[in-house]
Amino acid sequence: MKLSKGRQTFAVFNYAFLILIGLTMVLPLLHVIAQSFSSNPAINAGKVYLWPVEFTASNYKLVLGESLIWRSFFVSIYITAVGTVINLAMTALLAYPLSRSEYVFRKPILLLVLVTLIFHAPLIPNYLLIKSLGMNNSLWALMIPGAISAFNLFVMRSFFLALPNELIDSGRIDGCGELRILWNIILPLSKPAMATLGIFYAVAHWNSYANALYFINDRMKYPLQVRLREFLITDSSTINAPANDLLVSSPEGIKMAIIVVATVPIMMVYPFLQKHFTKGMLVGSVKS
């Protein structure tokens, strides 16, 4: 079908606008990667833009040789893996009954959930609650309080509403309980929703920063993002390495290498979930 001149003009401007938006996201990342692989004189002289100058891997050698970085790295992996499992389990357990019309109190509970989406608890009451539950200075403080996201709950509920009621009725006829229906029927059909929300939850846990500053006092329990902050607001002297290696490397290059190390792992998750993620982006389009 041949497009009119007006539509062709709109398409050209639309593609140009999207390319510009994409460049604003990609170019800063390329600049960070270029600096992380560049030498100290090249960075200080301002020669590094989108491509490494005087290529060197000494910055990564120092970063990956730092034990505190690796400890924080594994802390972040633990928080992300365990926290995401808790998030998906709790969200599914609440979204399923709220998607069933036979559940009497679903509307009042939905209203209460909506209130938490609009109004957030202040920091001090939240801190006192975490302290009274004995989770202060514990990694559970980074996973349990945000076990259910109100927004993600509504998205998953919308997906459950789109599933045929006949499937649930057939499970009940076969003698399945509600938990078995959820596990054997609902969740296997909800892979796009689970993958999409899993990415949202995992990214939130991986980027966990504020809660770790509020609730974690032990520096050995810091996640990667808090450790990154320490290096960004200080200099390379905080890294335990031979003096010769520090002279060859660049303080700015070390910081950029830490940013890359903190960013790449979560980006590697997307290719494995891309198929489900593409389908899951339409999850919230069904409303009750």
| Short-list 131, 114, 280, CA closest to 201 | 280
Give me the chain's average pLDDT, please: 81
CATH of the domain at 150: 1.10.3720.10
> Do 266 and 77 meet the contact criterion of CB atoms below 8 Å apart?
no
Distance between CA atoms of 212 and 159, rounded to whole angstroms?
Answer: 32
Residue entry with tokens 């830490």: 258
pLDDT at 212 over 80: yes
Q: Dig out the tokens for 131 from the structure.
A: 């302290």
pLDDT level of residue 48 (50, 70, 90 thresholds): confident
pLDDT at 18 over 80: yes
Query: By percentage, how much of the chain surpasses pLDDT 70?
Result: 87
Residue 171 lies in a domain: yes
Residue 251 lies in a domain: no
pLDDT level of residue 237 (50, 70, 90 thresholds): very low
Per-residue pLDDT reduced to its tens digit, 100-150:
888 888 888 888 888 888 888 788 888 888 888 888 888 998 898 888 888
pTM of the model: 0.78
Q: What is the mean pLDDT of residues 18-34?
A: 88
DSSP tag of 184:
I
Amino acid 277: pLDDT? 60
Residue 140 lies in a domain: yes
Residue 23 lies in a domain: no
Residue 8 lies in a domain: no
Distance between CA atoms of 91 and 155, rounded to whole angstroms?
Answer: 10
pLDDT level of residue 180 (50, 70, 90 thresholds): confident
Residue 54 lies in a domain: no
Domain count, the chain: 1
Residue entry with tokens 């609730």: 215
Per-residue pLDDT reduced to its tens digit, 242-287:
444 544 556 778 888 888 888 888 777 777 766 666 555 555 454 4
Residue 261 lies in a domain: no
Domain that holds residue 192: 67-245+267-285
Burial 1-39 (b: 16+ CB within 10 A, else e): eeeeeeeeeeeeeeeeeeeeeeeeeeeeeeeebbbbbbb
